[in-house]
């Protein structure tokens, strides 16, 4: 507050600094600094009546036509990513998309989100503003509102800049049954586009590999794509977004939940050449790399063509392909038919993925 | 992708597999030395394309797997010191020592960092003059030149706080050990293409002659591997014990002379204890006296190390090609990648990990 001080001559009581530029412990006090931060950074961007009401809980109006029919879906997800900004996205877009995708892959129409922020002392407020703006933009893209939030500050060194937890609520219209346990032998497995973009984009952005790439993260809310898909294929059995652990892990989860075998054709799985090149160099398998804007859909064979056409007509699914099928198998596993004609188990990722030595 | 797609061409791969079927008249046991080759074989399902006469056994060419328990325990002891930043290739962090692994050292608050090159460790040493930076120099002849270069750089920079915990091993002594073992079943070898890129294949000519075995320098893509098998089968069927190069796009007879000179300058042959196999004379590389200052084993007195191997793990027999991973009673039950009893279950080059990931039935 140098401008305030300039009004006085000589020695005066020290006026507290305003700390408008970076996060300090006081921003988590719950007092005026907290309120100013919330008002300045969040309310100005994520504005809606429920949030602006300023109560401890948001009270929400049911969507038109809900009339207590159908079910509610609720999900929560904590987001940590380093760096906070990476090619194709940032932690804000990730925090909104991640929870929107968890909600909408249950078949729900996502409606409302909450956001909890853990800020590390010293975080530039400008960074927080950029993240909040990105959350607002992504929420608008997904058609959801952030209606409640919380902010805590931890001491320098106790967090990596900024962590965001988001929770989301969505409405599942009556009659819609989608779940990981519903895959049936004969179903077709569809994938909305090339895999591995997010994981490799973030890895490259960390700058430890000495690699320069143009790979952009695919982070995006998938509810629009799912809306198009379900309009064309209303009897879709399973929807999943293959995030951490990649496509291989997602297929294993479905196999176990549904007591079936998921059969994947290696040659059919799209991977961008840049992503493949990085994976070849480091000894990674793209099937285990994280995605944040891809959709796996397991649909009955009679709706497969319509589902694929609908996915391809949406910008986020224009490279959608059939990558495999569901088979009966008491062993509940994913099998990979390799490009050269062999067949092998496609296991879940065990532990941390580590680059090879030579 | 150039150099990848053409070597994974399904039609070409099948035609080479067919050629192998036509060439083989009786059973042969062929060892691929490198763990990277083992993984590629199982990852692509190449073993399923081979005729039943060909048995592939998996060799000791997994640097993480053969690093002795004593050295891993030493690494853990050094990494546990508050004045140390311990740096390593990622694979090494999960390898079980007698009590815990490097990941658990990191979880308990010590500084253990994954680096992608030993030169990154040199940089960390420059940036942290108040810390001792130790790099875990493991691997075969492939990783020896960059590790040698890190010492030369550290010396040129006058760094006092950089050192190597050296665990280098060499392929030819291991081949001698396997071939002179009374339980040996191996009749032909696929030599590791990466190692030969550095060392050439002149070293293998006397081995082929002494033990009357064919040795084929082999790459890592499906077509490379089958081409290596085909060459080896043809040599076996013809009764020839020569060395052939089936990886000529990367390997020459002499190898990379500049890299070999670098190894020579910094390292000297030393006896080395191979995990699961035992001591092999002159089978490793240690720092020359001129570079002894950079030897972490001399710099840090970690006291007496009492090692304790798992009693059920059969990694040694797996590494010598005597047994296959599924023959281990602990495979897939007591021993998994999340809870490994031996290093062969950890590494992306370990045979047990390859079987667990790709070939469980």
Question: Residue A62, Cβ neighbours under 10 Å: how many?
Answer: 11
Chain A interface includes B114 (CB < 8 A): yes
Task: Select the residue of A340, A341, A344 nearest B359 (Cβ to Cβ).
Answer: A344
| pLDDT at position A210 over 80 | no
Torsion angle in degrees (nearest 10) through CA of B86, B92, B98, B102: 40
Yes or no, beta carbons of B8 and A347 under 8 Å apart:
no
Res. B256: pLDDT tops 90: yes
- Start-to-end C-alpha separation, chain A: 57
| Cβ neighbours of A342 in B, within 8 Å | 44-49
SS3 state of residue B289: helix
- What token pair was written down for B296? 């972490």
CA neighbor of A287 nearest in space, from A238, A257, A319, A324? A324
Torsion of CA B76, B82, B83, B84, to 10 degrees: 30
Question: Where is pLDDT greater, at B3 or A229?
Answer: A229
Q: What is the pLDDT of residue A13?
A: 52
Interface test with A, best of B48, B92, B145, B339 (most A CBs within 10 A): B48
pLDDT digits (tens, 9 = 90+) for B90-134: 888 888 888 888 989 998 999 999 998 999 999 999 999 999 999
Which of B139, B356, B357 is opposite residue A358, by nearest beta carbon? B139
Cα separation, B256 vs B196, in Å, equals 9
Query: What is the rounded distance in angstroms from the CA atom of residue A107 to the CA atom of residue A105?
Result: 5
Q: Where are the domains of chain B?
A: 1-311, 315-358
The H-or-E segment that residue A130 falls in is helix A125-142
Query: Whole-angstrom Cα distance, residue B62 to residue B34?
Result: 6
**φ, ψ for residue A339, nearest 5 deg:** -60, -30
pLDDT above 70 (res A18): no
Whether B2 shows a pLDDT value over 90: the answer reads no
Chain A residues in contact with B7 by the CB 8 A cut-off are none
- pLDDT: is B4 or B243 the higher one? B243
Six-digit token string for B320 = 């010598």
Q: What is the pLDDT of residue A9?
A: 46
Tokens coding B7: 């070597």
Whether residue B271 is predicted with pLDDT greater than 80 in this model: the reply is yes
Out of A277, A351, A358, name the one closest to residue B142 (CB). A358
Residue A349 has pLDDT above 90, yes or no: no
Report the distance separating Cα B82 and Cα B76, nearest Å.
Answer: 12
Angstroms from A286 CA to nearest CA on chain B: 13
CB B229 within 8 A of CB B202: no
Q: How far is CA A207 from CA A81, A201, A204, A215, in A?
A: 14, 10, 6, 13
B179 pLDDT above the threshold of 90: yes
What angle, rounded to 10 degrees, do the helices at B10-23 and B222-238 form?
A: 10
ipTM above 0.90, yes or no: no
Nearest CA among A266, A262, A270, A216 for reference residue A240: A262
β partners of residue B136: B165
Nearest CA-CA partner of B69 in B233, B354, B279: B279
- Exposure of B155 by Cβ count < 10 A (0-12 exposed, 13-18 middle, 19+ buried)? middle
**Residues B232, B31: contact at Cβ < 8 Å?**
no
- Residue A335: phi and psi, rounded to 5, are -120, 140
Average pLDDT over residues A326-334: 92
Q: Which SS3 state, helix, strand or coil, does residue B56 take?
A: strand
Size of interface A-B (CB pairs under 8 A): 97
What's the angle, vertex CA B268, arms to CA B289 and CA B293, rounded to 5?
A: 30
Q: What tokens does B358 get?
A: 């790709």
Residues 210-269 of A with CB under 8 A from B: 210, 267
Question: Is the sign of the CA dihedral A91, A92, A95, A97 positive or negative?
Answer: negative
Residues B199-221, mean pLDDT to the nearest whole number: 97
For B130-157, the pLDDT digits (tens) are 999 999 999 999 999 999 999 999 999 9
Contact A145, A203 (CB under 8 A): no
Closest C-alpha among B357, B360, B327, B361 to residue B40: B357
Average per-residue pLDDT for chain B: 93
The answer to whether B349 faces chain A, any CB pair under 8 Å, is: yes
**What is the full DSSP assignment across A316-346?**
GGTT-EEEEEEE--TT--EEEE-TTS-EEEE
- Distance of residue B139 Cα from the nearest chain A Cα, in angstroms: 8
Nearest C-alpha in A relative to B39? A283
Question: B12 phi and psi, to 5 degrees?
Answer: -65, -40
> Which CATH architecture best describes the domain B1-311?
3-Layer(aba) Sandwich (3.40)
B95 Rama sector, left if φ>0, alpha if ψ -120 to 50, beta otherwise: beta
- The angle at the Cα of B27, spanning B23 to B28, to the nearest 5 degrees, equals 85
Chain A residues touching B326 at Cβ < 8 A: none
Confidence of residue A39 (pLDDT cuts 50, 70, 90): confident
DSSP H/E element including A64: none
Q: Where are the alpha helices (DSSP H) in chain B?
A: 10-23, 35-44, 63-66, 69-79, 102-107, 118-127, 144-156, 171-179, 193-199, 204-211, 222-238, 257-266, 296-299, 315-319, 351-358
Q: Answer whether A358 sits within 8 Å of B357, measured CB to CB.
A: no
Q: How confident is the model over B17-36, as a mean pLDDT? A: 96
Burial class (CB in 10 A: 0-12, 13-18, 19+), B101: buried
What span, in angstroms and rounded, lies between the C-alpha atoms of A167 and A339? 40
The reply to whether B169 touches chain A by the CB within 8 Å rule is: no
Which member of A280, A344, A356 has the closest CB to residue B42? A344
Report, as an integer, the average pLDDT of A196-214: 87
Pick from A248, A28, A190, A192: which is nearest to A121 by CA?
A: A28
Section B160-182 average pLDDT: 95
| Helices and strands (H, E) in chain B, number of each type | 15, 11
CB-based contact, B55 to chain A, within 8 Å: no
- The 10 Å Cβ neighbour count of residue B309 is 15
Nearest to B40 by CA among A98, A342, A108, A351: A342
Pick A342's closest partner by Cβ from B36, B44, B120: B44
Tokens 């009764």 identify what position?
A: B239
Q: What's the start-to-end Cα distance of chain B, in Å?
A: 32
pLDDT for A46 beyond 90? no
Q: Are A324 and B30 a contacting pair, CB within 8 Å? A: no
- Partners of B145 in the β-ladder: none
Q: What is the pLDDT of residue A243?
A: 93
Chain A closest-CA separation from residue B36 CA (Å): 9
Mean pLDDT of B68-76: 92
Q: Which of A280, A344, A358 sits opposite B4 (nearest CB)?
A: A280
Q: Is the pLDDT of residue B313 over 80?
A: yes
Ranges assigned E (strand) in A137-240: 145-154, 162-172, 188-191, 238-240
Q: For strand B162-169 and strand B188-192, is the pairing parallel, antiparallel, or unpaired?
A: unpaired
A230 token code pair: 């379900």
Q: Is A277 on the interface with B (CB under 8 A)?
A: yes
With H, G, I as helix, E, B as strand and everything else as coil, classify residue B217: strand
What kind of architecture, by CATH, is found in domain A188-346?
Alpha-Beta Complex (3.90)
Given this model, what pLDDT does residue A1 score? 37
Residue B174 pLDDT exceeds 90: yes
A345: nearest CA partner in chain B: B358
CA distance A252 to A334: 5
- Of residues A313 and A31, more confidently modeled: A313
For chain A, the structural domain boundaries read 25-53+70-172, 188-346
Contact present, B195 and B141 (Cβ < 8 Å): yes
Least confident piece of the model among A8-22, A169-183, B158-172, B280-294: A8-22
Q: Is residue A221 over pLDDT 70?
A: yes
Looking at residues A84-103, what average pLDDT do you find?
A: 97
Check CB contact of B124 with chain A, cutoff 8 Å: no
Query: Which CATH code of 1.10.730.10, 3.30.1330.10, 3.40.50.620, 3.40.50.1820 fits the domain covering A25-53+70-172?
Result: 3.30.1330.10
Determine whether the interchain pair B13/A343 forms a contact, defined as Cβ–Cβ distance below 8 Å.
no
* Nearest in space to B349 (alpha carbons), one of B51, B92, B72, B77: B92
Q: What is the pLDDT of residue A5?
A: 43
Left, alpha or beta for B200 (phi > 0: left; psi -120 to 50: alpha)?
A: left
Residue located via tokens 């992504």: A138
Q: How far apart are CA B145 and CA B141, in angstroms?
A: 7
A157 in contact with B at a CB cutoff of 8 Å? no
Question: Closest residue of A to B50, CA-based?
Answer: A342
- Whole-angstrom CA distances from B111 to A39, B98, B337 are 40, 20, 24
Helix (H) or strand (E) run with residue B340 in it: none
Residues of chain A in contact with residue B10, where contact means CB-CB under 8 angstroms, are 267, 339-341
Distance CA A25, CA A36 (A): 14
């Amino acid at each position: 507050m140098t401008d305030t001080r300039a009004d006085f001559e000589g020695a005066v009581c020290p006026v507290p600094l305003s700390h408008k530029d970076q996060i300090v412990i006081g921003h988590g006090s719950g007092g005026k600094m907290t309120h100013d931060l919330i008002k300045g950074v969040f309310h100005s961007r994520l504005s809606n009546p429920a949030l602006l009401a300023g109560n401890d809980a948001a009270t929400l109006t049911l969507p038109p036509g809900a009339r207590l029919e159908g079910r509610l879906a609720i999900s929560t997800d904590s987001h940590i990513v380093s760096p906070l900004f990476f090619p194709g996205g940032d932690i804000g877009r990730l925090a909104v998309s991640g929870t929107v995708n968890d909600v909408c892959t249950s078949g729900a129409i996502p409606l409302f989100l909450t956001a909890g922020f853990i800020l590390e002392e010293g975080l530039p407020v400008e960074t927080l503003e950029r993240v909040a703006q990105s959350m607002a933009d992504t929420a608008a893209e997904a058609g959801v509102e952030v209606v409640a939030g919380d902010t805590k500050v931890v001491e320098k060194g106790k967090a990596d800049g900024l962590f965001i937890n988001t929770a989301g609520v969505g409405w599942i219209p009556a009659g819609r049954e989608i779940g990981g346990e519903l895959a049936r032998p004969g179903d077709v497995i569809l994938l909305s586009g090339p895999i591995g973009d997010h994981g490799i984009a973030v890895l490259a952005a960390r700058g430890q590999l000495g690699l320069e790439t143009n790979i952009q993260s695919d982070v995006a809310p998938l509810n629009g794509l799912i809306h198009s898909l379900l309009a064309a294929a209303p009897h879709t059995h399973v929807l999943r977004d293959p995030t951490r652990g990649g496509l291989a892990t997602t297929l294993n989860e479905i196999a176990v939940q549904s007591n079936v075998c998921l059969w994947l054709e290696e040659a059919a799985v799209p991977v961008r050449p840049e992503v493949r090149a990085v994976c070849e160099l480091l000894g990674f398998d793209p099937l285990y790399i994280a995605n944040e804007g891809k959709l796996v859909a397991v649909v009955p064979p009679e709706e497969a063509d319509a589902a694929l056409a609908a996915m391809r007509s949406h910008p986020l699914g224009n490279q959608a392909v059939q990558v495999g099928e569901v088979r009966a198998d008491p062993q509940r596993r994913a099998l990979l038919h390799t490009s050269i004609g062999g067949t092998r188990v496609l296991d879940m990722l065990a532990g941390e993925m580590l680059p090879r030595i030579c | 992708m150039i150099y990848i797609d053409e070597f994974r061409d399904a039609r070409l791969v099948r035609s080479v597999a067919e050629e192998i079927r036509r060439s083989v008249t009786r059973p042969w046991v062929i060892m691929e030395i490198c763990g990277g080759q083992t993984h590629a074989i199982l990852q692509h399902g190449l073993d399923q394309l081979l005729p039943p006469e060909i048995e592939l056994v998996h060799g000791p060419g997994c640097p993480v797997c053969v690093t002795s328990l004593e050295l891993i325990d030493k690494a853990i002891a050094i990494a546990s010191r508050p004045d140390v930043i311990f740096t390593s290739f990622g694979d090494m962090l999960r390898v079980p020592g007698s009590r815990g692994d490097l990941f658990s050292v990191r979880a308990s608050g010590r500084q253990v960092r994954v680096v992608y090159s030993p030169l990154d460790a040199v940089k960390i040493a420059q940036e942290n003059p108040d810390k001792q930076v130790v790099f875990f120099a493991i691997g075969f002849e492939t990783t020896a030149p960059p590790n040698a270069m890190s010492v030369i750089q550290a010396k040129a920079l006058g760094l006092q706080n950089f050192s190597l915990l050296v665990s280098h091993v060499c392929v030819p002594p291991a081949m001698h050990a396997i071939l002179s073992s009374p339980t040996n079943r191996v009749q032909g070898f696929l030599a590791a293409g990466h190692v030969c890129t550095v060392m050439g294949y002149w070293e293998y000519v006397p081995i082929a002659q002494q033990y009357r075995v064919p040795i084929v320098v082999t790459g890592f893509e499906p077509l490379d591997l089958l081409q290596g098998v085909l060459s080896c089968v043809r040599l076996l069927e013809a009764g020839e014990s020569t060395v052939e190069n089936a990886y000529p796009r990367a390997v020459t007879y002499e190898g990379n002379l500049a890299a070999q000179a670098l190894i020579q300058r910094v390292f000297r042959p030393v006896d080395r204890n191979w995990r699961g196999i035992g001591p092999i004379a002159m089978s490793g590389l240690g720092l020359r006296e001129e570079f002894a200052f950079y030897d972490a084993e001399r710099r840090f007195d970690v006291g007496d190390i009492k090692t304790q191997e798992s009693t059920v793990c059969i990694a040694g027999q797996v590494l010598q090609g005597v047994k296959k991973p599924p023959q281990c009673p602990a495979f897939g039950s007591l021993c998994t990648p999340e809870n490994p009893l031996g290093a062969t279950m950890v590494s992306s080059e370990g045979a047990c990990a390859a079987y667990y990931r790709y070939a469980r039935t």
